[in-house]
Amino acid sequence: MSFIPLFILNTVIWGTTWLAIKYQIEVVSPIWSVVYRFGLASLLLLVFCLLTRRNLGYSRVAHSIMALQGLFLFCLNYILYYIGTSYLISGLVALIGACTIFFNIINSYLFFKMPIMIRVVVGASIGFLGLAIVFSNEIGKMYQETAGLRGIIIGIMCCVLGALIASFGNMTAVKLHRMQIPLLQGAAISMIYGTLYSTVIALLFQQPLQFSFSPSYLISLFYLTIFGTIIAFGCYLTLLNNVGPARAGYISIITPLVAILISTFFESFSWSYVTVIGMILIIGGNVLVLTKRNPSVKASFQPK
């Protein structure tokens, strides 16, 4: 699948997972919900690898990188976002989460000497500004609906740290790609590590072991596992390997926009001219980031 279809599919799926997550955290501990989600996804991927006789034997070095990817991409970042969400309104969480693209740009240069493309930086900045404008009304309510200044600081720190850790996870994905570890096997093993880490964290923090057999929880778990994890991460990691973390990271800005469109139907999101202006900026930034690079820049992202 080419770049644009992968990008669209990824943003549509992740833009709708917020609704499924809502049904998860209302009845079961968020950390255990993360365990169930990635545990089930890793099991399905592992079974598929075994049935198709794919190689699952890798060196200790490869496993160390996959273990880091599991910790960063399938464990800590999700837990931190869940904690941040308990202190902050969703608009601010989405805005802070969009910082991932800027962390990706910086980390790509620091870890892999990937060039910092001015067009991507400008496009990301325009999109980030548009996202801030779209959520401006909701962010304006922050001091009224959060647990005071201390709670706001904790929430912001958790979300910023979550975005940074997610970016580190993106860097491990690039490293695995350069080590020629197949995406499917790498994701399966990394999710196993992520599930183990999340289980240990849940036990350390004495989270009550819960599970719900309600239709809403089971359906949301199925959606998050199959679509939100296996399919969406498959698309995202493919994009990341093909076009680099900076451009792939723009998904973090587009995803909240999709969530707004969904919220229009499910939560009666109120539109205004401010919303339209913000959306125009997001789309404009999207055009800058997604426009085709020249061949010389594209070559710089190839494995060395």
Is residue 219 situated within a structural domain? yes
Is residue 35 situated within a structural domain? yes
Q: What is the pLDDT of residue 85?
A: 73
Is residue 276 situated within a structural domain? yes
Q: What is the DSSP letter of 147?
A: S
Is residue 113 situated within a structural domain? yes
Short-list 217, 215, 256, 225, CA closest to 18: 256
Q: How far is CA 203 from CA 24, 158, 196, 197, in A?
A: 19, 20, 11, 10
Is residue 31 situated within a structural domain? yes
Q: How far is CA 163 from the centre of its chain?
A: 8
Query: 202 is in which domain, residue-wise?
Result: 3-299
CA distance 295 to 115: 13
pTM beyond 0.85, yes or no:
no
Is residue 144 situated within a structural domain? yes
- The count of domains in the chain is 1
| Sign of the dihedral defined by the CA atoms of residues 208, 210, 216, 220, in that order | positive
Per-residue pLDDT of 144-169, as tens digits, reads 555 566 777 788 888 889 999 999 99
pLDDT along the chain (304 residues), means of 10: 82 82 79 94 95 92 96 93 74 74 88 84 83 70 59 82 93 94 94 96 92 91 94 92 82 77 65 77 74 44 31
Contact 194, 38 (CB under 8 A): yes
Is residue 85 situated within a structural domain? yes
Q: What is the pLDDT of residue 141?
A: 60
Is residue 304 situated within a structural domain? no
CA distance 248 to 238: 9
| Sign of the dihedral defined by the CA atoms of residues 21, 24, 28, 31, in that order | negative
Overall residue count recorded for the chain in this entry: 304
